[in-house]
Amino acid sequence: MTDTVQIRRALLSVSDKTGLADLGKALAARGVELVSTGGTAKALREAGLDVKDISEITDFPEMMDGRVKTLHPKVHGGLLAVRDNPEHAKAMADHEIGAIDLVVVNLYPFEATVAKGADRDEIIENIDIGGPSMVRSAAKNHAFVAIVTDPKDYDGLLSELETTDGGTTLAFRKLLAARAYAQTAAYDSMISQWFAFADQGLEFPEMLSINGRLGTELRYGENPHQKAALYTPVGPFTKGLAQSEQVQGKELSYNNYNDADAAFELAAEFKGQDPAVIIVKHANPCGVAQGKSLLEAWQGALACDDVSAFGGIVAVNTTLDGATAEAICQIFTEVVVAPDADEDARAFFAKKKNLRLLLTGDLPDPRRAGLLVRQITGGLLVQNRDNGAIGFDDLKVVTKRAPTDQELKDCLFAWTVARHVKSNAIVYAKDGVTAGIGAGQMNRRDSSRIAAMKAAEAAEKFGWAQARTVGSAVASDAFFPFADGLLAAAEAGATAVIQPGGSIRDDEVIAAADEAGLAMVFTGMRHFKH
């Protein structure tokens, strides 16, 4: 296996012409023969460079609307030949196949074509065939051939040529080959996903391709001894935290991203509504509120559980203003996520150099489709996103007393929050503010009691006459299997209950609600979040 290979002939065929002219000039200045196709050859000639058309190499014209131009033995022989193999060398001589030392290829813009909403015929035409074939041939034969698939690598290539006086080292070619195969794998993955999901309408295809591009390595994983990184999808995807602008603050950790995403997803539930503030700790909401102003919402959310809010994550559903930013700065906050922030808000946060401010530009559709993937030993668990939704018309009153209009509003608010709380989830809410949240317990009764306890502690701390659970609505993410959880909510002062229903003891639970004078509605839909 040869180490340094001199670049004498290069084949260039790119859809992205960024940096092409400068690269061509640099290669030509080193005496490299340039071979090219179609539009790439035209662009190089317009830059004043001598270029040999691929048809001069193959003795065949480009045909079939450019579908057939590089799929030829004189191209792939020049790429795949093992130069120090006598039989290969003889075949090259016998068939007048010239060696190709460098391939610069990037593929038809399949992703961009799909993203712009092109029709099926145009999408199919943007499935590259010759490009990936050349990439794979060159990468396989990296012992002798260098393959460049990204304009971002042009500077690295030119630096390599400068260092080696016109050649490439084996280590560099190995690096390029690895990148090239990752590129073709991601490209094929995008195509397979389009065929499976968009074209065929499959929910769970026989083969599931998942790919991502490294965004950044993180400081560490869930714990300091674990390594972690952030990847972004290759192909169409919903933009979110991974694409946000970090205005200030130190690097985000794995836990920061995980918690901030939980807050961001819940903030999206209130897109286009009254100002809302979400405070999250360890991926669970510990305070959620809407108000006439963002500051009012912040005060309501913080009062729900100001102990857990310390060192937490804050997300809002609208542009962050100075008054709210100043209030947030009164406690230790790890990350703040907002669609935007005004100059006053940015100025206040600038005084807290370690606080991370992430601006997302928008909020995603909380009812968007998609797949969630979780790894288990020996496999992957895949499910649809929990994008189910209910409204007033979907609720079924099951008690003797029907809820009031305000109780119904509080029920739906509590239900919205509960779907983002780890199971077993209990959420008390009143007037658009969470009164208490119980999360992640092994039984529903304990979640009810913990949420009520937090509300009682808040009332004592802030000097309220009574806990906010009094007169509240309570949401349960799944049915009450026994009446004890519901009775715990009644003891806390809740007057209305929203839950999926469906227990074999529903009649018992309904009877207990009637006896306590509660109004209760069934949703017919649960929202476990494990």
265 φ, ψ to 5°? -65, -40
Q: What is the mean pLDDT of residues 367-391?
A: 91
Which of the four pLDDT bands, split at 50, 70 and 90, describes residue 330? very high
What is the pLDDT at residue 56?
76
What is the secondary structure of 379-434 as a DSSP string? EEEEEE-------GGG-EE-SSSPPPHHHHHHHHHHHHHHTTSPSS-EEEEETTEE
What is the pLDDT at residue 235?
72
Q: What is the mean pLDDT of residues 509-518?
A: 95
Angle at 371 between CA 370 and CA 373, to 5 degrees: 155
Please count the other Cβ atoms lying within 10 Å of the Cβ belonging to residue 368: 10
CA distance 24 to 29: 8
Distance in Å from the first CA to the final CA of the chain? 52
Contact yes or no for 370/189 (Cβ under 8 A): no
In terms of Cα–Cα distance, which of 514, 476, 493, 488 is closest to 399? 514
Q: Which residues are catalytic?
A: 140, 282
Which of the four pLDDT bands, split at 50, 70 and 90, describes residue 61? low
CA distance 476 to 445: 10
Tell me the C-alpha to C-alpha distance, in Å, between residue 174 and each of 143, 186, 341.
8, 18, 45
3-class secondary structure for 382-393? Answer: EEECCCCCCCHH
What is the pLDDT at residue 43?
94
Q: Which residue has the higher pLDDT, 42 or 91?
A: 42
Torsion angle (degrees, nearest 10) of CA 77, 83, 84, 89: 50
The structure tokens listed for 221 are 């994983």
Pairing of strands 496-499, 245-248: unpaired
What is the pLDDT at residue 153?
94
Residue-wise pLDDT for 164-219, tens only, equals 999 999 999 999 999 999 999 999 999 999 999 899 998 899 888 888 889 999 99
480 burial (CB, 10 Å; 0-12 / 13-18 / 19+) is: buried
The structure tokens listed for 280 are 């999250």
Q: Is the pLDDT of residue 66 over 70?
A: no
Q: What is the mean pLDDT of residues 267-277?
A: 97
CA distance 212 to 214: 7
> What is the amino acid identity at position 339?
P
Which of the four pLDDT bands, split at 50, 70 and 90, describes residue 159? very high
Q: Is the pLDDT of residue 92 over 80?
A: no
Q: What is the mean pLDDT of residues 128-152?
A: 92
Q: Is the pLDDT of residue 77 over 90?
A: no
What's the predicted TM-score (pTM) here?
A: 0.86
Q: Is the pLDDT of residue 84 over 80?
A: yes
What is the pLDDT at residue 89?
82
Rg over alpha carbons for the chain, rounded to the nearest Å, is 30
CA distance 366 to 383: 16
What is the pLDDT at residue 1?
53
Tell me the C-alpha to C-alpha distance, in Å, between residue 481 and each of 1, 253, 402.
69, 39, 22
Q: Is the pLDDT of residue 501 over 70?
A: yes
